[in-house]
Chains A and B, each alone.
Chain A
Amino acid sequence: MTERHETDLLFKALADASRRKLLDLLQAHDGRTLNELCEHLAMTRQGVTQHLDVLEAANLVATVRRGREKLHFLNPVPLQEIYERWIAKFEKPRLKALAELKRKLEKANG
């Protein structure tokens, strides 16, 4: 899988309100079964399964088998990568400008 393809899968997975709700549900309480997740969404079981498949393909959800159950966990690693690639990079110049302003103001006071 190329890096660009992975990024496309990630943003596509996030571009849906039901899938974002599933991530919120897992963030609040990790390690849930499909049945537990279905209780919180007004959607068919098949619908929830399809959304979970998209999240799993984007590596946002990891599954662990425990006996006959399949437990779903939020995998925050791709979100950390989005933060580094798409947020930290853009806020850095502004943080630098603020630090510079602080230095100048403190110098003027002293």
Chain B
Amino acid sequence: MARSTFVYVTYIRTTPQRLWAALTTDTEFMKRYWFGVHCESGWTAGSPWKMLSDEGNILDSGEILESDPPQRLVIRWQHQKMPELKAEGDSRCTMELEPSGPAVKLTITHTIEREPSKFISAVSGGWPKIISNLKSLLETGATAMDEAYPK
């Protein structure tokens, strides 16, 4: 079956535990690198998962398919806000954390079983900025960008 996939890799000088918390339970930290957005979930396999805007609107939702802290997280992820993206159905986002010398290698793979995919195109613009901000915030205590789309 045709599929659309994006893979993002970065090396962050931190510990797997800190990075795991930054991607899951530490919502205040998440808002700082994810441009005000945060995710809510129990973070165990089978838990519902949702992503919320600054104002508390649901942007995306789904469930945790696999959770092996602090190494591997798989999310069933469906967009909720824009009808044409929602209509594309479920995508799958896999986050893998591997120690690599003094750093942690973070690999994010986002896949949907269709090609082309407007959803994957839409998220592809955001992920590099979010990941770059996450790296910068964990390593230096400051984000590289304050706004996703600077004026």
A residues lining the B interface (CB < 8 Å): 1, 6, 30-31, 59, 62, 64, 73, 75-77, 79-81, 84, 88
Kindly provide the distance from the CB of A65 to the nearest chain B CB, expressed in whole angstroms. 12
Report how many A-B pairs have Cβ atoms within 8 Å.
46
Q: Shortest distance in angstroms between A25's beta carbon and chain B's nearest beta carbon?
A: 15
Q: Report yes or no: A77 in contact with B9, Cβ–Cβ below 8 A.
A: yes
Pairs across A and B, CB under 8 Å, 27 listed = A1-B103, A30-B5, A59-B10, A59-B11, A62-B8, A62-B9, A73-B5, A75-B7, A75-B8, A75-B9, A76-B8, A77-B9, A77-B10, A77-B128, A77-B131, A77-B132, A79-B128, A80-B128, A80-B131, A80-B132, A81-B132, A81-B135, A81-B144, A84-B132, A84-B144, A84-B145, A88-B145
Q: Number of B residues contacting the other chain (C-beta, 8 Å)?
A: 20
B109 and A77 form a contact (CB under 8 A): no
Q: Is B129 part of the binding interface, using a Cβ–Cβ cutoff of 8 Å?
A: yes
For the complex, give the distance between the alpha carbons of A90 and B80 in Å. Answer: 37
Instruction: Compute how far the CA of A76 lies from the CA of B123 in the bound complex, rounded to whole angstroms.
Output: 13
CB distance from B118 to the nearest CB of A (A): 16
Cα distance, A77 to B127, chains bound together (Å) = 8
B25 within 8 A of A: no
Using Cβ atoms and an 8 Å threshold, which residues of chain A touch B135?
81
Since A75-B9, A77-B132 are in contact, a sample of 12 more A-B pairs with Cβ atoms closer than 8 Å, ordered by chain A residue number, is A1-B103, A6-B11, A30-B5, A62-B7, A64-B7, A64-B109, A73-B6, A73-B7, A76-B8, A80-B128, A81-B135, A88-B150
